[in-house]
Amino acid sequence: MSVVMLLALKGYSQSSQDQQFFESKIRPILSQYCYDCHSSKSAKIKGGLKLDTKDSTLKGGNTGPAVVPKDLDKSLLIKSIRYTDEDLSMPPKKKLPDDAIKDLERWVSTGAYDPRNDTPTITVSEALARKHWSYEPLRRPPVPQVQSKWINNEIDSFIFLSAKNKGILPSQEADKKTLIRRVYYTLTGLPPTIEEVEAFVNDPSTDAYEKIVNNLLSSRAFGEKWARHWFDTSRYSDTTG
């Protein structure tokens, strides 16, 4: 019974390692260097070769199978990325980095594990990612024409109008003692000293608040406070590989 369990655990471990290697190494290589010309979404599929599913990769294109598991010599994908055949060198403009070539060779020689389905589909996460604001084209929207003493710049106009439409009114402007405590706690998690409060309260300049913010953003305390959030997420670097 124990032998069976050990064999099962060994098989599970190997499958997990193969999947991790494919997702972390092979899929990114294929996506970055191959899919433009060799996928179902290509404007023109070159050489009749599609590399975005397991079956199409094994089947290959007009010249034969792209991948023959555990056989580097018969795998045309390996032959093409090695640049040993001038007519079959891929990518055509520039050879892959050495690390990428070694990863693909390792992938094929160990059996070419491939979890991709016959029909490539866009996952929900990919679809949502493509709608993320950072992928939207840049545009300059018209600045809302609203009047309020709360508005100090164009960004405030957008915030004020959005809040107003939701029935939310700005809070009363804080006095300088309250304001400096708020900004210190927000940026550093620490209170200001009595001397810092008095210096801010007695500073008549129009950019007194901006100077406080800039000084705190460049302080060690700001980095220490916000680094805690990253540590909670990333933990120790030697455990995330």
pLDDT digits (tens, 9 = 90+) for 88-142: 788 878 888 999 899 999 999 999 898 887 665 555 455 566 677 887 888 888 9
Residue 24 has pLDDT above 70, yes or no: yes
Residues 6 or more apart whose Cβ sits within 8 Å of residue 172: none
Q: Are 223 and 213 in contact (CB under 8 A)?
A: no
Asked which of 34-43, 98-107, 115-124, 198-207 is least confident by mean pLDDT, the reply is 115-124
Select the more confidently predicted residue: 177 or 51: 177
Residue 236: predicted pLDDT: 60
CA–CA dist 54, 52 (Å, integer): 7
- Check whether 3 has a pLDDT greater than 80: no
pLDDT at 66: 87
Comparison of pLDDT for 12 and 95, the residue scoring more: 95
Mean local confidence (pLDDT), 177-198: 95
Q: Which residues pair with 42 in a beta bridge?
A: none
Predicted pLDDT at 222: 94
Give me the mean pLDDT over the 230-237 stretch. 69
Residues 6+ apart with CB under 8 A from 80: 88, 89, 90
Of the candidate ranges 21-35, 115-129, 171-185, 209-223, the one whose mean pLDDT is the lowest: 115-129
Burial 184-198 (b: 16+ CB within 10 A, else e): beebbeeebeeeebe
Confidence at 5, pLDDT banded by 50, 70, 90: very low
- Residue 91 vs residue 69, higher pLDDT: 69
> 146 and 162 in contact (C-beta within 8 Å)?
no
pTM given for the model: 0.46
Show the tokens assigned to 227.
């680094």
Amino acid identity, residue 147? Q
Q: In the predicted model, is pLDDT for residue 84 greater than 90?
A: no
**How much helix, strand and coil, in percent to the nearest 5, is found in the chain?**
55, 0, 45
Return the higher-pLDDT residue of 162 and 4.
162
